[in-house]
Chains A and B, each alone.
Chain A
C-alpha cells in the first residue's frame, strides 16, 4: 500500500452509501467529477479520515511518445482490479467493484441480486443474475406503470422492508450488443424514494415461446433460491438467513419461465395481491 500511496494523487473523495464509507482517489484532476452517474445511488460525501474500502484510479492515455498509450488502472486496496485502455470500461469497473463492496459490507442491510419494482404498495422482487432477461422484464413493468426500485439489488432491512437501489437500467437493444444506460424517467416511470413491504417474489427466466405457468415455491426451497443470490451469504450468514427466511415466509414466491416481456409484465402485476402465502 505504501507504494501506491507514494505515487502521488491529484484528488480524492470520501463518501458514504448504505452505511459503507468508500474512498476514491485519482492521479488526475477531473476524473472523480466525471464518475457522477457511476457512483452508487444515494451516495453522500462525508468528512472522514477512515474508510471501509479505498479505490485508487491511475488514468493512462497518451504517453507523449509516438504511438504509445498507458493503460488505465484501478486498484481496490492493493489489489489491481482493472487494466484497460477504454474509459468506459474503467468507469464500469469502478461502478461494479464499489457497489459489490457496499452490497457485501452494508451493516444494516442485506443485498440480494434482483430486480425490484413497486406496485400497489408492495415490492415485486425478481431475483437472479444478469443475462436472464430481468432488465427487459423490469423495463416492461415500468412501462406498465410500476415504480422503479432497482435493476440490481433488493435491499432488505431487518424488518423485511425493501429499499430502492435505483441505478440506471442497462438495456440491450439486441443480443450481443453493448448495453445502453437508461434512466427510469426515460421509460415514463417514477423512481421509488421509500421502502415497501415485499408483495411477491418471482423466479423467472426468458425462454422464447415459453408459456406463463407460475407455481408456488415452498418456503424452504424459496429461501435456498434467495440465498443463492444473496451477496453476504458467506460473510454474514446469520443476517442473510434471517432476511431470506423472512422474505420466503411473508411474500408469495412463484416460479415460471416467461415469454415476451410486455405480456409477462401484465401477468406479474396481476399476481401481486392475488396470490397469498
Chain B
C-alpha cells in the first residue's frame, strides 16, 4: 500500500461502542467482542483520525497537549497500535513506524510515560465472568477441587475426588 493513501487516517466507527474516560477512551468492538483502552496519547491520535488530519498535524497536537517532541514517529506508533486493534479503516504501511524501543532511543527514556498505549481484552462470556476457574486437567488435585478442567475439543468437567478410585479426576459435572 502506498504511504500516500495513509496521509490522513480514518478511524473506524461502525460496530463500535465508545466511552470517554476523561483523557482516555474505552472502545468495545461489537464485531470481535474485544474491548480496548486507549491512553491519553493514543486517544488523542484516534480522535484526530477524521480523514482530514495529517500525521504531521497529529504529531503537532501530541506536542501541544502532552509536551513531548513533535515527532511524527510518535504519531505513527499510535496509528500502528490502533490499526493492530482494528480501530482504523485502513491499516498503515508496514514499515511506517519505529518500535517503542527505537522511539525511546531517539527521543529519550523520559518519553516512556507519554507513549501511546492501546490495551486490549477479549470480552468474557457470561459463565467465564462468573465463579469458574479453569485449570489444566493434569492439575486436578486436592488444591484444585471444584475448578473446571479445560478439555479443548471435548467437554470441560469439574475436578473432583472419586472415592471409588481413590484419586482426583476431571469427571465431575460439565462446566462452561
Can you list 25 pairs linking A and B with CB atoms under 8 Å apart? Answer: A81-B173, A81-B174, A82-B173, A93-B173, A100-B127, A103-B126, A129-B132, A129-B133, A130-B133, A152-B131, A220-B24, A220-B25, A220-B38, A220-B119, A223-B26, A223-B37, A224-B119, A224-B121, A228-B124, A233-B124, A237-B17, A241-B26, A242-B19, A244-B26, A249-B21
Within the complex, the shortest CB–CB distance from B131 to chain A, in Å, comes to: 4
Nearest 9 interchain pairs by C-beta: A220-B37, A220-B24, A176-B142, A219-B21, A233-B123, A130-B131, A104-B126, A245-B19, A237-B28
Q: How large is the interface on A (under 10, 10 to 19, 20 to 34, 35 or more residues)?
A: 35 or more
Residue on A nearest B42 in the bound complex, by CB: A220
Chain B residues with CB under 8 A of A219: 21-22, 24
Asked if A65 lies at the interface with its beta carbon under 8 angstroms from chain B, I say no
Number of A-B contacts (CB under 8 A): 105
A176 to B174, CA, bound (A): 20
- The one of B21, B133, B145 in contact with A220, judged by C-beta atoms closer than 8 angstroms, is B21
Whether A235 contacts B147 by the Cβ 8 Å rule is: no
Chain A residues with CB under 8 A of B147: 131
Chain B residues with CB under 8 A of A6: none
A249 to B19, CA, bound (A): 11
Chain B residues with CB under 8 A of A249: 21-22
Within the complex, the shortest CB–CB distance from A179 to chain B, in Å, comes to: 8
Within the complex, the shortest CB–CB distance from A34 to chain B, in Å, comes to: 20
Chain A residues with CB under 8 A of B21: 219-220, 223, 245, 248-249
Residue on A nearest B24 in the bound complex, by CB: A220
Chain A residues with CB under 8 A of B174: 81
Asked if B101 lies at the interface with its beta carbon under 8 angstroms from chain A, I say no
Whether B129 contacts A229 by the Cβ 8 Å rule is: yes
Most buried by A among B142, B145, B147, B173: B173
Asked if B156 lies at the interface with its beta carbon under 8 angstroms from chain A, I say no
A269 to B121, CA, bound (A): 30
Chain A residues with CB under 8 A of B35: 224, 227, 233, 241
Chain A residues with CB under 8 A of B130: 96, 100, 103, 113, 129, 231
Chain A residues with CB under 8 A of B143: 175-176
A232 to B33, CA, bound (A): 12
A219 to B30, CA, bound (A): 21
Chain B residues with CB under 8 A of A104: 126
Contact string, B26-43, partner A, CB cutoff 8 A, digits 1/0?
101010010101110000
Contact string, B105-134, partner A, CB cutoff 8 A, digits 1/0?
000000000000001010111110111110
Chain A residues with CB under 8 A of B131: 96, 113, 129-130, 152
Chain B residues with CB under 8 A of A113: 129-131
Residue on B nearest A100 in the bound complex, by CB: B130
Given known contacts A221-B37, A245-B26, is B124 in contact with A235 (CB within 8 Å)? no
Within the complex, the shortest CB–CB distance from B44 to chain A, in Å, comes to: 13
A228 to B19, CA, bound (A): 16
Asked if A230 lies at the interface with its beta carbon under 8 angstroms from chain B, I say yes
Within the complex, the shortest CB–CB distance from A42 to chain B, in Å, comes to: 19
Asked if A83 lies at the interface with its beta carbon under 8 angstroms from chain B, I say yes
Residue on A nearest B141 in the bound complex, by CB: A176
Chain B residues with CB under 8 A of A130: 131-133
A240 to B127, CA, bound (A): 15
- The one of B17, B39, B126, B129 in contact with A228, judged by C-beta atoms closer than 8 angstroms, is B129
A83 to B17, CA, bound (A): 40
Whether B127 contacts A228 by the Cβ 8 Å rule is: no
Asked if A159 lies at the interface with its beta carbon under 8 angstroms from chain B, I say no
Asked if A84 lies at the interface with its beta carbon under 8 angstroms from chain B, I say yes
A120 to B173, CA, bound (A): 42
